[in-house]
Amino acid sequence: MIYPDLRFMHAGGDGGPRSTTHVVVIHATDNTASASAEATFAQHRPDNTSAHFYNDEGAVIQALDTSHIAYGCLYHGNQISIQFEMCGLSNRLSDATMRKVAPIVARVCHDWDLPVRKIGAQDVRNGVTGICGHADITAAFPQDHGDHTDPGLTFPWSTFISYVEGASVQISDIDAQYLTWRVEAITHMFDQIREGPEKGANCDIVQTLKRIENELKALTAPSTQAPALSDGELNALAQKVAALLPQPPSAADVAEELAKRPGNG
């Protein structure tokens, strides 16, 4: 998944599709470079080290599809994780840096069905899902001989988790896709009705849409939990559909047009 609203700078270390997703791994870059500089470096770095996201206080840059393997925490960790590099030093990441990335961490957890909770090395080893630090990955998989301890022993996990919990998760791609499809389907059906037997009938757009919505609900109910449209949503939809219909001329326009015609009357 590549989020279209984020800047994307493809990292050179792209391990291709990942089959397991258990954890979000939080790193600190342990230097003072910006997210843009880190992402630029990751495009060409000779050791192929990479992360899915780089962020500082001002920007979050995506560098890999979240369904791909990043090369950020050695073999076993890379196989199971989506990785975030926060720019700054371990134990000294700024509050603004943590707040900046929190909504994206929330979104990833939402989209990958990962609970927003801090887990430790033992949890990681046992396949428990959640959010952990690079340090936890290092401790979970000693066979990989890692030595990284970022984001540091005093990283404020409870504060960070509270930022992630508080971040509003935007409508997921799937939800947006479903709604778009529904509007398209209703628009299409309305077109058919407009050209069909009811053509010319003086039908109320909202009433017609309500009937179509009920039909759609019957069609899709077994496979989705889509809620019925509220009156407000129906009205919004009706306006959208009405905007697609050819505009009937106003009485004034007709009168003006008729008046222009020679020999009229």
Could you tell me which stretch among 5-13, 131-139, 163-171, 207-215 binds Zn ion (CB under 5 A)? 131-139
Nearest approach, Cβ of residue 240 and Zn ion (Å): 47
The answer to whether 92 and 100 are in contact (CB under 8 A) is no
Examine residue 151 and say whether the peptide bond preceding it is cis (omega within 30 degrees of 0): yes
Number of residues in contact with Zn ion under rule CB under 5 A: 4
Residue 38 or residue 111: which is nearer to Zn ion going by CB?
A: 38
Nearest approach, Cβ of residue 42 and Zn ion (Å): 13
Contacts with Zn ion, 13-32, as mask; x by CB under 5 A: --------------x-----
Contacting Zn ion (CB under 5 A), which of 21, 134, 167, 189?
Answer: 134
Residue type, 135: A
* Residue 107 binds Zn ion, judged by CB under 5 A: no
Residue 123 or residue 150: which is nearer to Zn ion going by CB?
A: 150
The answer to whether 196 and 189 are in contact (CB under 8 A) is no
CA–CA gap between residue 185 and residue 167 (Å, rounded): 32
* Residue 148 binds Zn ion, judged by CB under 5 A: yes
* Residue 68 binds Zn ion, judged by CB under 5 A: no
Nearest approach, Cβ of residue 225 and Zn ion (Å): 38
* Residue 150 binds Zn ion, judged by CB under 5 A: yes
Could you tell me which stretch among 113-121, 134-142, 169-177, 209-217 binds Zn ion (CB under 5 A)? 134-142
Give the residues lining the site for Zn ion (CB under 5 A). Answer: 27, 134, 148, 150
